[in-house]
Amino acid sequence: MIDWLPRLQSCLGLAALLLVAMTLSENRRQLPSWRWMAGAIAMQLLLGTVILLVPAVWETLRAMNAGVIAIERATLEGSSYMFGYLGGAPLPFDVKPGAATPVVIAFQILPLIITMSALAAILWHWGVLRLIVRGLSWALQKTLGVSGVVGLNAGANLFLGVVEAPLVVRGWLATVSRHELFTMMTLGMSTVSGVVLVLYAQTLSRSIDNSFGHILAASLISLPAALLIARILVPGESRTNAAANGAELRYQGSMDALVRGTLDGLQLFLAVIAVIIVVFSLVALVNQTLGALPDFSGAPLTVQRLFGWLFAPLMWLLGVPWAEAQTAGSLMGIKAILNEYVAYLALADLPAGSLTPRSMLISIYAMCGFANLASIGLLISTLTTLCPERRREIAGLGFKSWLAGNLVSMMTGAVVGIVAS
């Protein structure tokens, strides 16, 4: 028998997130029609239902997950050759009985970024990814009436990074409307690209079955939500048309794509290492400072506990039971303030039984997006470099795009709470 109470709880969360967006809108007199908003929400629910509940679709994603595992194994061959046992080669010593084989994240997991970046560049040059992006763009134009430029950017965000996706629409950045510009910023904050999508899936592979399918599903479900939230916070019309072949992300040949994709991946690889080191260091430093204060409720104050208290009501609204809301809230706080990959690492390290399967599913989907404080600077610097004449406007929309990205990812979590059993 279906338990409807948790689903109603998630419905309440979905409505609350919409209310927050409407309250913070730049111009509530120009909000989109209720019919259009209902259509965007219906598309989210339809995508969630089809992806998660239709066996044929889910099995297709499972088959893609097998492809991801193959890429992971191939990358491990390269990292093993370069770094030896630190990169995944057989250990030159015996592990103590009962001890787990050591996993060095920097040398065994993160090199996947470089491989995927090179692969994405080659597939873009060969036209494979361009064809998929055009298909997604066409679908969004026909269903939600977005402009060609916004549709093109939406498709690109699923496969290219926050830095690379704007290059696809670089030629129109100076002329798009304020609403379209903000929509593109929101899309960048609300989804994860194919390069890190595989990384996140690999990180979560021991926590949930078909992790790649879930991360990809989260990004797909977030697309209509991003268009909805962007149109509520910064109302306007999508009116800039663009031919798909106007994309400016081009390579001189397959070898150029391979080399540039590899170098771009290397930059991201180093950036992720740096961010993880800094985030863990700052959290430890703050926790040491908080440790000087008296214990609260029988335990020391920590950043994780503070995030848990702050975000627990939000996670409860998404459908997480209150007994687990503080744990899920701590993860969501790490994602929104620090970094989503760090949050996924924390989720993967949770003791067994900390979250029920449903709560874990909601948390995974709610954390799937680039919206953290560091991403604001990255997005602003990228767009202002490509379009310096709109520097002030882009900077002014930075924090709002962070807010929009988190509202979108939490909406996706609520949708999964409604759809999932």
Res 163: pLDDT? 67
- Mean pLDDT, to the nearest integer, of 181-205? 86
Question: What does the DSSP 8-state code read for residue 336?
Answer: I
Run of H or E residues at 403:
helix 398-419
| Whether pLDDT at 246 is above 60 | no
Considering only residues 396 and 117, tell me which one the structure prediction assigns the higher pLDDT: 396
- 98 burial class (0-12, 13-18, 19+ CB within 10 angstroms)? exposed
Res 314: pLDDT? 94
**Chain length of the chain:** 421
- Mean pLDDT, to the nearest integer, of 235-263? 76
Give me the percent of the chain exceeding a pLDDT of 90. 41
Res 245: pLDDT? 43
- Where do the domains of the chain lie? 4-89+102-419
Per-residue pLDDT band at 243 (split at 50, 70, 90): low
CA distance 190 to 367: 10
- Name, in order, each residue with C-beta under 8 angstroms of 135's C-beta and a sequence gap of 6 or more: 155
CA distance 151 to 227: 10
CA distance 315 to 329: 6
| Whether pLDDT at 244 is above 50 | no
Based on DSSP, count helices (H) and strands (E) in the chain, helices before strands: 18, 0
Express each pLDDT in 85-119 by its tens digit: 888 888 888 888 877 677 788 898 888 888 988 88
Per-residue pLDDT band at 16 (split at 50, 70, 90): very high
Is the Cα torsion angle 314, 315, 317, 318 positive or negative in sign?
positive
Per-residue pLDDT band at 241 (split at 50, 70, 90): low
- 288 burial class (0-12, 13-18, 19+ CB within 10 angstroms)? exposed
